[in-house]
């Protein structure tokens, strides 16, 4: 019998592979229902993967690409879409290349998936919070509504997520438990997160909550290499967040950790080159205000105009060359990441150096890890979910291989296991 601890995408995928392999599976989750963070991720439209070419897809995993790519090679975006189709959930590719279920909702997919797992014999236990290991090598302690319980298993898959969105179950409570077992762990850090900007009271009161659309964000990474991407973000009361910011969260976080701050540059008029902007802002404005002039000549208005006034001294608006330069490359200083529990995901976790074959913990034989518990990160856009699905499948396959070589399989009716 195998225990899977964690009812998110990685844990459910591991359970599916194990059940298909003929193993009895018991799945445990601390929350009152399964897949809570998965459902939250799909609240605004479930983006399950991305359609871009495999090489570009793998590049999204940064420094951990070599660790994640083999998982994706075994279960890539196409395989994920085929898997969803077998659940009766058709998908489509959006204009951005992102892949969504036709209904754009997470609940129908999750319901179909849980039904299939139950049909395959997976036993599911909610309100079972993992407290740590018991006396045996794969003995697990759980806090349950009926009190503490301890169970022994042939193998274990841990898939409890990182440290973001604690109210949905990913609270990082497993960190000290695995540390005590000698598992090497990188500290959990916010990823796909917002950043603090020291806005003035006036700017914050007027523009917090407003989207900044059609801009290009540029910065340099720790090696001095330029990074550049077009998109949009949102001004918040504390700073900035949104898809464009999330795409740069890793290098921004690393710069803030190293230097205490990070600076990005915003091209507020990406459809116009610098020469055109300079020509436009240099034209006489007559009796028009500078705000009207910028709106009519360069299309700068609203929150974009507010950003210019927030970041530039008043006299810069009387200097066309300086104003044009700012419109094409407005510097914005970020001073901190938002708290980890506000982040969409986390970096850090169980280091790959501490894993044996199949994502088994080298220091705890028979215990495997999957999903965000592992030390990797990726931007939003389907990359997070795809790697969680893929790593869950890798862990499930790893358990089957380990059981076949080390202990008898716990088959239904065999009497093996608790």
- First vs last Cα of the chain: how many Å apart? 7
Q: Which CATH class is domain 2-191+344-406?
A: alpha beta
Cβ(108)–Cβ(87) under 8 Å? no
Name which of 130-134, 165-169, 213-217, 329-333 the model is least confident about. Answer: 165-169
Cβ(350)–Cβ(184) under 8 Å? yes
Cβ(391)–Cβ(10) under 8 Å? yes
Q: Quick one: pLDDT band at residue 357, thresholds 50, 70, 90?
A: very high
Residues with Cβ within 8 Å of 23's Cβ and at least 6 positions away in sequence, in order, are 1, 2, 399, 400, 403, 409, 410, 411
**Percentage with pLDDT > 70 across the chain:** 97
Cβ(218)–Cβ(262) under 8 Å? no
pTM: 0.89
* pLDDT tens string 223-262: 888 999 999 999 999 999 999 999 999 999 999 999 999 9
- Is residue 222 scored above 50 in pLDDT? yes
Q: How far is 252 from 66, CA to CA, in rounded Å?
A: 22
pLDDT of amino acid 25: 98
Q: How far is 376 from 167, CA to CA, in rounded Å?
A: 22
H or E stretch including 258? helix 249-259
Q: How far is 337 from 348, CA to CA, in rounded Å?
A: 15
Burial class of 323 by CB neighbour count within 10 A (0 to 12, 13 to 18, 19+): buried
Residues with Cβ within 8 Å of 224's Cβ and at least 6 positions away in sequence, in order, are none
CA angle 354, 358, 362 (to 5 degrees): 30
Beta bridge partners of 99: 49, 93
How many other CB atoms are there within 10 angstroms of residue 187's CB atom? 12
Cβ(297)–Cβ(280) under 8 Å? yes
- Number of residues that make up the chain: 418
Residues with Cβ within 8 Å of 213's Cβ and at least 6 positions away in sequence, in order, are 232
pLDDT of amino acid 388: 96
What values do phi and psi take at 281, rounded to 5?
-75, -15
Cβ(91)–Cβ(100) under 8 Å? yes
Q: How far is 312 from 330, CA to CA, in rounded Å?
A: 9
**Structure token pair of residue 358:** 């199949």
Domains of the chain, by residue range, sit at 2-191+344-406, 195-337
Q: How far is 63 from 58, CA to CA, in rounded Å?
A: 10
Torsion angle of alpha carbons 108, 110, 113, 119, nearest 10°? -90
- For the chain, what is the largest distance between any 2 Cα atoms, rounded to a whole number of angstroms? 90
* pLDDT tens string 16-73: 999 999 999 999 999 999 999 999 887 778 999 999 999 999 999 999 999 999 999 9
């Amino acid at each position: 019998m195998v225990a899977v601890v964690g009812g998110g995408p990685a844990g459910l995928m591991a359970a599916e592979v194990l059940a298909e392999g003929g193993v009895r599976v018991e799945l445990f989750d601390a929350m009152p229902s399964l897949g809570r963070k998965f459902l939250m991720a799909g609240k605004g439209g479930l983006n399950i993967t991305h359609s871009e070419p495999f090489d570009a897809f793998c590049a999204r995993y940064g420094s951990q690409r070599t660790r994640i790519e083999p998982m994706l090679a075994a279960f890539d975006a196409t395989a994920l879409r085929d898997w969803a189709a077998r659940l009766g959930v058709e998908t489509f590719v959006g204009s951005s290349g992102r892949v969504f279920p036709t209904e754009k909702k997470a609940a129908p997919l999750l319901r179909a998936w849980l039904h299939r797992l139950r049909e395959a014999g997976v036993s599911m236990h909610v309100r079972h919070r993992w407290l740590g290991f018991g006396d045996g090598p794969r003995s697990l302690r759980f806090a349950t509504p009926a009190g503490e319980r301890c169970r022994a298993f042939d193998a274990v898959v841990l898939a409890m997520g990182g440290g973001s969105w604690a109210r949905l179950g990913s609270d990082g409570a497993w960190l000290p438990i695995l540390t005590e077992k000698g598992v090497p762990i990188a500290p959990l850090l916010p990823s796909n997160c917002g950043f603090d900007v020291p806005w003035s009271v006036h700017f914050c009161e007027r523009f917090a909550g407003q989207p900044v659309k059609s801009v290009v964000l540029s910065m340099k990474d720790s090696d001095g290499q330029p990074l550049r991407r077009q998109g949009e973000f949102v001004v918040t009361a504390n700073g900035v967040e949104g898809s464009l910011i999330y795409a740069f969260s890793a290098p921004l976080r690393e710069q803030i950790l190293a230097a205490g701050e990070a600076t990005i540059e915003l091209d507020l008029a990406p459809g116009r080159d610098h020469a055109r902007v300079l020509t436009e802002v240099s034209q006489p404005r007559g009796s028009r205000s500078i705000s009207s002039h910028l709106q009519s000549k360069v299309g700068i208005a609203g929150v974009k105009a507010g950003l210019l006034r927030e970041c530039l001294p008043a006299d810069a608006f009387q200097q066309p060359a300086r104003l044009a330069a700012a419109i094409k490359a407005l510097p914005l200083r970020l001073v901190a990441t938002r708290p980890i529990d506000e982040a969409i995901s986390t970096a850090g976790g169980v280091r790959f150096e501490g894993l044996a074959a199949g994502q088994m913990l080298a220091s705890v034989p028979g215990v495997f890890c999957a999903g965000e518990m592992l030390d990797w990160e990726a931007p939003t856009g389907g990359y997070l979910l795809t790697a969680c699905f893929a790593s869950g499948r890798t862990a499930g396959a790893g358990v089957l291989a380990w059981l076949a070589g080390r202990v008898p399989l716990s088959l239904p009716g065999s009497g093996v296991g608790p």
